[in-house]
Structure 1
Amino acid sequence: MTSTFHDRIAAELTDIEAQGLTKPERVIASRQGPVIQVGGRDVLNFCANNYLGLAGDQRIVDAANAASEARGAGTASVRFICGTLDIHKELERSLADYLGFEDSILFAAAFDANGGLFEPLFGAEDAIVSDSLNHASIIDGVRLCKAKRYRFATSDMDDLETQLKAARADGAREIVIATDGAFSMDGYIAKLKDIRALADRYQALIMVDDCHATGFLGPQGKGSYAHHGVEIDFLTGTFGKALGGAMGGFICATAPVVQLLKQRARPYLFSNALAPSICGASLEAIRIARGSEGDTLRTQLFANAARYRSAMTEAGFNLLPGEHPIIPVMLGDARLAQDLAARMLELGVYVIGFSFPVVPRGAARIRTQMSAAHTFEHIDAAVAAFTTAGKELGVI
């Protein structure tokens, strides 16, 4: 490699650091949970997507180990060559049944699910109308597709209708409205009732990414569409958050759509099959999530979120409004977000500062997240630490 190349990389890294945009990796030496070990000590964890608290649950670990014992570490192959196991089919059936769809297809990651959805199904004759705050994986998936692209302002139904009219006027064969079910940086839940009404009016399909909703929003935790009581056409999601916390993604749809994706979706065709351990863990997580224990965990999760929101607001912090367990503490300045996160770790609470390009410039924050595994004592201790650090740094 040339010295000029390395000089350019070094200069870019220096600039990232100068702007306070460096994203540190803090090494965890324990299972994921409400209390984790970082730097040789136990700290409270308030930034994981461990909504139901299952990532470190022994039943999930045992199910993963049992699947590995029975089917090995992996298939050493992609699904269509020599990589489809009985546990893959079992997970696809269980997932579709749980979420109320005809069929489902598994991917190595949720990013791949969004990356593989659009290109096989839609072409230059079609249109995709995408929420402006959609996850990067949706944006990248849409870019891989030749369909004409339109964007609407987040949760702005007037703007959505304007874009739907434009797509129809431009002669679109099919129109797809694409949105996060819950937006990961803000905790806003998509207005799917209103979106459903507009989709019906303009004969559009609906795609929802429910990575931050599956397992805990709506009846039995079926997701944002169930939360609003509407039907959708394509659902993407993950096993890496509420459903066990490992990795892997999926698409739920009608059986013919899933069959076509299995023939044409490139991330499915050219990636190794999901590891048996992940399938076993995910099956156990689905069993827990859809049952009465899941109801108990969801009740605790939202009670925790309400307590935390109330206490942080009373302490003087600027929170984005909402009901979701994602609760951003808004700070604006990237350096301040990093400094506050570092001070919180010193005080025994693990949180992370979010800044550009993960969030818009000037909208830096600490995104806190509740888990059903948190106790009220955990929450009160975190709020006390935030209050101390916030006063020291002039946030409150």
Structure 2
Amino acid sequence: MAKILNQFLKDNLNELKEQGLYNEIDPVEGPNGATIKIGGKEMINLSSNNYLGLATNDHLKEIAKKAIDHYGVGAGAVRTINGTLDLHVKLEDKLAEFKGTEAAIAFQSGFNCNMAAISAVMDKNDAILSDELNHASIIDGCRLSRAKVIRFNHSDMEDLRAKAKEATESGQYNKVMVITDGVFSMDGDVAKLPEIVEIAKEFDLITYVDDAHGSGVMGKGAGTVKHFGLAKEVDFQMGTLSKAIGVVGGYVAGTQDLIDWLKVRSRPFLFSTSLTPGDTAAITEALQMLIDSTELHDKLWENGDYLKAGLKKLGFNIGDSATPITPCILGDEKLTQQFSKRLSEEGVYAKSIVFPTVPRGTGRVRNMPTAAHSKEMLDEALTVYEKVGKELKIIQ
């Protein structure tokens, strides 16, 4: 190894560890369900994005197995050559039905969606108004587009309006887009989509909603845009297929013209092998399950409200979450890491979240209750939270 690289790595890794910012990765031994096994120890799992428990659903496993037996384990090519299976067409039809749009396109990951879709439409002659707390994939997608990125204060509609007015009236840009998460994953708050759409109409902005944590969760499952009744008003509805949907991948839903354009100009679609057959079949069936019933969605919210009320009663700072995502905000990074470690030792896996995932000084343990948790599991977790919180003098 080059000496300069070796020194760079050692110095920076040591610095991260000293500051409590080094992330230890814990390999999971078995399924990522309501409970989880790490290091041979079974724990209540409060760190998964598997909101509806579909990642371990027995019916979906059987659907995936049948697809593998018929199609094989891989699609064999990119979508534009001969990697588009009839399964992919069925999936995209089902996504459009699920989101209430004319069409949809599936990608290999949610991160890929934002890298693909933003840069396929926006370029160096354009500007993007981006919420300051938008996900890293949005930030990278904006950078890749080479458009001028103008950050507005988090969910601050006055700031958005002022910056939209300045950008559109300056005459510098061909197109201006406003982009926001639907549900912000670190705090659990929801974007002010009605106000954003109103501002977008006033200044003719392109609207883009990243609903990674809203799909399957908001709008009785159909997402944050559906929750606000804005399916016909939002240009890009983007989401993941790896969280509430339980498998892997991402999608963009919108007009037929938009999807046709993305199929000829979005680089991950053009240059990366398609979603696997087993995954594709399982996703399509998962979407049908959500279209047919809100049972899992309702259970998720019931469990989320229960855990949130319990943590708040104990005295934890859970911020302003309006979704099942429930952070316990501690602030200090080292304390956050220590708290998470003690929770694990007591049988609750709740991963610490620190900079750069969240701003410095806002370290938190993020709790992700799912439809698969029982009340008994949540009660046990609350008992552990009370014990460790008092031990570390986080609560009284």
Query: In structure 2, what is the equivalent of residue 233 of structure 1?
Result: 235
Deviation of 1:139 (Å): 0.6
Query: In structure 2, what is the equivalent of residue 30 of structure 1?
Result: 30
What are the ranges of 5 or more consecutive residues in structure 1 without an aligned counterpart? none
Correspondence list, 1:200-215, <5 A:
200-215=201-216
Correspondence list, 1:84-233, <5 A:
84-171=84-171, 172-219=173-220, 221-230=221-230, 231-233=233-235
**Aligned residue identity for 1:189:** V
Query: In structure 1, what is the equivalent of residue 278 of structure 2?
Result: 277
Deviation of 1:3 (Å): 2.0
Q: Aligned partners of 1:131, 1:243: CA distance in 2, in Å?
A: 25
Per-residue Cα deviation, 1:215-266 (whole angstroms, up to 9, x for no partner) = 12113x110011112231101111100012x221111111111111111111
Q: Aligned partners of 1:343, 1:161: CA distance in 2, in Å?
A: 45
Q: Aligned partners of 1:216, 1:394: CA distance in 2, in Å?
A: 34
**Aligned residue identity for 1:87:** L
Deviation of 1:361 (Å): 0.4
SS at match of 2:305: helix
Q: Is 1:243 the counterpart of 2:245 in the alignment?
A: yes
Deviation of 1:62 (Å): 1.0
Per-residue Cα deviation, 1:189-229 (whole angstroms, up to 9, x for no partner) = 0000111111111111210000101012113x110011112
SS at match of 1:8: helix
Correspondence list, 1:306-317, <5 A:
306-317=305-316
Query: In structure 1, what is the equivalent of residue 287 of structure 2?
Result: 286
Q: Aligned partners of 1:164, 1:323: CA distance in 2, in Å?
A: 27
SS at match of 1:321: coil
Q: Is 1:355 the counterpart of 2:357 in the alignment?
A: no
**Aligned residue identity for 1:275:** T
Q: Is 1:66 the counterpart of 2:66 in the alignment?
A: yes
SS at match of 1:77: coil
**Aligned residue identity for 2:202:** R
- TM-score, structure 1 as length reference: 0.97
Q: Aligned partners of 1:102, 1:131: CA distance in 2, in Å?
A: 27
Q: Aligned partners of 2:38, 2:118: CA distance in 1, in Å?
A: 40
**Aligned residue identity for 2:382:** V
Query: In structure 2, what is the equivalent of residue 380 of structure 1?
Result: 379
Deviation of 1:368 (Å): 0.6
Deviation of 1:76 (Å): 2.7
SS at match of 1:26: coil
Q: Aligned partners of 2:100, 2:359: CA distance in 1, in Å?
A: 35
SS at match of 2:327: strand
Alpha-carbon RMSD: 1.2
Q: Aligned partners of 2:7, 2:37: CA distance in 1, in Å?
A: 37
SS at match of 2:27: coil
SS at match of 2:145: coil
Q: Aligned partners of 1:15, 1:149: CA distance in 2, in Å?
A: 30
Q: Aligned partners of 1:316, 1:241: CA distance in 2, in Å?
A: 29
Q: Is 1:325 the counterpart of 2:327 in the alignment?
A: no
Q: Aligned partners of 1:152, 1:107: CA distance in 2, in Å?
A: 28
SS at match of 1:328: strand
Deviation of 1:170 (Å): 1.7
SS at match of 2:310: helix
Count of residues in correspondence between the two structures? 392
Deviation of 1:108 (Å): 1.1
Deviation of 1:147 (Å): 2.5
Query: In structure 2, what is the equivalent of residue 49 of structure 1?
Result: 49
**Aligned residue identity for 2:331:** G
Deviation of 1:138 (Å): 0.6
Deviation of 1:322 (Å): 2.6
Query: In structure 1, what is the equivalent of residue 21 of structure 2?
Result: 21
Q: Percent identity?
A: 39
Deviation of 1:153 (Å): 0.7
Query: In structure 1, what is the equivalent of residue 79 of structure 2?
Result: 79
- TM-score, structure 2 as length reference: 0.97
SS at match of 2:373: coil
